[in-house]
Amino acid sequence: MVIKDKRISELIYKIRGCVFNVYNALGPYYVEKFYEHALMIELSDNGIEAKRQVEIPTYYKDRKLDLTLKADIIVNNEILIELKANSHPEPNKYYRQTLSYMRLTQTKYGMIINFGVEDLIKDNGIIPLAL
């Protein structure tokens, strides 16, 4: 996927670098929350503003539902990051979930990062998305 916005493209490049730093330090065998905390440290150390476990309110017919979803990480209020640590990935499920979260948070860009794979590049561990 090619992202035409140069600023967003460069930010995604920096995020990918942070992801690789975390993966190279930890490998594929930890639980998702461990990667989430480590990635937040890495993003902060690289001057990237991010929030974790961001509540996503839900509505139906202008009525707030008693259902709150949480985005793993949102960077600069622009890029939603959905983290996984699954050795048997379910890309279609992750894709649908991330797109839903992007729509609900009105973020145009997203990333699915699966730290549970043996090789982040070869095993499609990082998937960028755009609405």
Q: For residues 68 and 18, which has the higher predicted lDDT (pLDDT)?
A: 18
Q: Is residue 64 part of a domain?
A: yes
pLDDT band of residue 40 (cuts 50, 70, 90) is: very high
SS3 87: coil
pLDDT of residue 6: 92
Q: Is residue 36 part of a domain?
A: yes
Tens digit of each residue's pLDDT (9 = 90 or more) over 45-102 = 999 999 999 999 999 999 999 998 999 999 999 999 999 999 887 878 899 999 999 9
pLDDT of residue 87: 87
Range(s) of the domain holding residue 56: 6-130
Q: Is residue 99 part of a domain?
A: yes
pLDDT of residue 33: 97
Q: What are 74-78's contacts with CB under 8 Å, separation 24+?
A: 74/50, 74/105, 74/107, 75/11, 75/15, 75/43, 75/48, 75/49, 75/50, 76/11, 76/48, 76/49, 76/50, 77/107, 78/8, 78/11, 78/107, 78/108, 78/109
Q: For residue 79, what is the domain's CATH number?
A: 3.90.320.10
Q: Is residue 62 part of a domain?
A: yes
Q: Work out the percent of the chain whose per-residue pLDDT is above 70.
A: 99
pLDDT of residue 69: 95
pLDDT of residue 54: 97
pLDDT of residue 4: 84
Q: Is residue 66 part of a domain?
A: yes
Q: Is residue 69 part of a domain?
A: yes
pLDDT of residue 34: 97
Q: Is residue 1 part of a domain?
A: no
Tens digit of each residue's pLDDT (9 = 90 or more) over 92-131 = 889 999 999 999 999 999 999 999 999 998 888 899 899 8
List Cβ neighbours of 125 (8 Å cut-off, separation of 6 or more): 23, 113, 114, 115, 117, 119
Q: What is the number of structural domains in the chain? A: 1
Q: Is residue 122 part of a domain?
A: yes
